[in-house]
Structure formats: structure tokens, C-alpha cells
């Protein structure tokens, strides 16, 4: 597994590099956003660890550029910012997960393993429910004949709902599966992303598929 670490704090970058190499990963380091984008474009990485506060090009801008250029490697944001707005901004840019500094290496390693495992396992037959269709290989979704443009996290959330259609999923279950988070405060992010997804999947259709189970969570079902 090849990992790109984009981090301008030399001690932090070295700490991550030594730890991951000790776990058998091949690690390359960039100390600014522009170099990180260049390396990610010209090499194949299984995962990118991206600091948000970077010189030359910040992490959010770097992630957006990579997604626009077709780089699909999972991205884990590393940052000291931890408000709901900061987390949403990072995820909206195209990142797949978010880890707040300071962090224990064990937690970082767990996130790295989860993202690389999810990326390698993200294959299989199309999933359909009602008039929704999801292609796990191409990462594309349609409702009827219309393709729906989703961010990576919206896609992961919808896939989880579709694989568990007609089952009520608690916010904790969604947080643990889609984000690998377990703490309750993170569930506000889930509500934000369900609303994003609902606007794209259900808006304009008489039949609504994403439903709130009051006080519990959400369920994908036909009315």
C-alpha cells in the first residue's frame, strides 16, 4: 500500500511516516499543497493524508484540484479545526474522512486501514432499490434515467442506505460505518449529509425514498 502524506509540520510528517512504514506501508511526503497535488497526479497512491493548513495551496484547495483532475484515491484530512462547519468543508471538498489533531497513532492507523480496506473492497454488482441504481465499480448513481452527481461521502452514505434498505439505521450506526466515528457529537454531520442526499435523491420526485425515523435515525424505503 502506497500512502502520500501532505504535511508541512516536519515533526508530524516524520512521526506519521515512521509509524506507517513500521506497519508495512510505503510512504512519500510532501510539505506543501502544490507539491502534494503534483505527486498525487503523477503517481498512484492507495491513500492520501492531507493537512488542511498548508503553504502554497491549502488542503481544501488541493483536494478539490485532485478530484477535478480525476484522482480517486481516498483522502483523510488532518487538521486542528474541529467545528461542524470545518468538518463539512473538508468532506465537501472531496475528502473521505477527517481526523483532528492531536491524535494517537493507533487512531490514525485504524482510519488508514478502514479507508484502504473500503477502497479495495468497493467492487461488485449494481445495487438497485425502487428506481434507484448504484454502480459500486463506477461510483455512479441513477434515479430512473437521470444520473445523480454525488460527493464521495454522499455516495458512501447512499450506498450504506441501499445495502440496508428498509432497515432503520441509527445515527451511530451510520457514523461508525460511513465515517468510522463513534462519538455522539459527530451525528450532527450525519443530519447535514442526509439533508444533502435527500435534496439530490428525492427532490422533484413524488415518491420519497429517504425517511427520518424520529429520535432514532434514517431508513431507505418506499412510501
CATH code of the domain in which 207 resides: 1.10.10.10
Least confident interval from 24-28, 124-128, 168-172: 124-128
The shares of helix, strand and coil residues in the chain, as percent rounded to the nearest 5, are 45, 20, 35
- Of 121, 150, 165, which one is at a domain's C-terminal end? 121
CB 158 within 8 A of CB 197: yes
Q: Is 28 exposed, middle or buried (0-12, 13-18, 19+ CB in 10 A)?
A: middle
Looking at the predicted structure, is the pLDDT value of residue 100 above 80?
yes
Average pLDDT in the 60-69 region? 90
Question: Model confidence at 119, in pLDDT bands (50, 70, 90)?
Answer: low
The helix (run of H) or strand (run of E) holding residue 135 is strand 132-135
CB 32 within 8 A of CB 41: no
Extract the C-alpha cell encoding 186.
459527530
Looking at the predicted structure, is the pLDDT value of residue 168 above 90?
yes
Residue 83 has a pLDDT of: 72
Instruction: Say yes or no: 13 and 88 in one domain.
Output: yes
Instruction: Give the residue from 125, 189, 124 showing the smallest Cα distance to 154.
Output: 189
CB 65 within 8 A of CB 37: yes
Instruction: Say yes or no: 133 and 206 in one domain.
Output: yes
Looking at the predicted structure, is the pLDDT value of residue 165 above 70?
yes
Average pLDDT value for the chain: 86
Give helix 10-22 / helix 105-121 axis angle, nearest 10°: 60
Instruction: Say yes or no: 42 and 60 in one domain.
Output: yes
Q: Give the up-direction half-sphere exposure of residue 79: CA atoms within 13 A in the CB hemisphere.
A: 24
Which residue has better confidence, 186 or 127? 127
pTM: 0.59
| Structural domain total, the chain | 2
Average pLDDT in the 103-108 region? 90
Instruction: Say yes or no: 164 and 201 in one domain.
Output: yes
Strands (E), 70-109: 75-79, 97-100
Question: Model confidence at 11, in pLDDT bands (50, 70, 90)?
Answer: very high
The C-alpha atoms of residue 1 and residue 14 are separated, in whole angstroms, by: 18
Residue span of the structural domain in which 200 resides: 127-220
Looking at the predicted structure, is the pLDDT value of residue 181 above 60?
no
Extract the C-alpha cell encoding 125.
454488482
Amino acid at each position: 500500500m502506497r500512502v502520500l502524506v501532505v504535511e508541512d509540520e516536519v515533526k508530524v510528517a516524520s512521526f506519521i511516516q515512521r509509524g506507517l512504514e513500521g506497519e508495512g506501508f510505503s510512504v512519500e511526503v510532501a510539505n506543501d499543497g502544490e507539491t502534494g497535488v503534483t505527486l498525487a497526479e503523477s503517481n498512484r497512491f492507495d491513500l492520501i493524508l492531507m493537512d488542511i493548513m498548508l503553504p502554497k495551496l491549502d488542503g481544501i484547495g488541493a483536494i478539490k484540484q485532485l478530484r477535478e483532475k480525476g484522482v480517486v484515491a481516498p483522502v483523510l484530512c488532518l487538521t486542528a479545526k474541529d467545528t461542524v462547519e470545518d468538518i463539512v468543508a473538508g468532506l465537501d471538498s472531496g475528502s473521505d474522512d477527517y481526523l483532528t489533531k492531536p491524535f494517537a497513532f493507533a487512531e490514525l492507523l485504524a482510519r488508514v486501514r478502514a479507508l484502504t480496506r473500503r477502497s479495495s473492497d468497493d467492487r461488485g454488482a449494481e445495487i438497485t432499490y425502487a428506481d434507484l441504481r448504484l454502480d459500486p465499480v463506477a461510483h455512479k448513481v441513477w434515479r430512473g434515467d437521470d444520473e445523480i452527481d454525488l460527493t464521495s461521502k454522499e455516495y458512501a452514505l447512499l450506498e450504506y442506505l441501499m445495502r440496508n434498505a428498509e432497515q432503520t439505521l441509527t445515527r451511530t450506526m451510520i457514523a461508525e460505518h460511513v465515517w468510522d466515528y463513534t462519538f455522539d457529537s459527530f451525528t450532527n454531520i450525519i443530519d447535514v449529509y442526509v439533508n444533502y442526499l435527500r435534496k439530490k435523491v428525492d427532490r422533484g420526485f413524488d415518491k420519497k425514498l429517504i425517511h427520518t425515523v424520529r429520535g432514532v435515525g434514517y431508513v431507505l424505503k418506499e412510501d
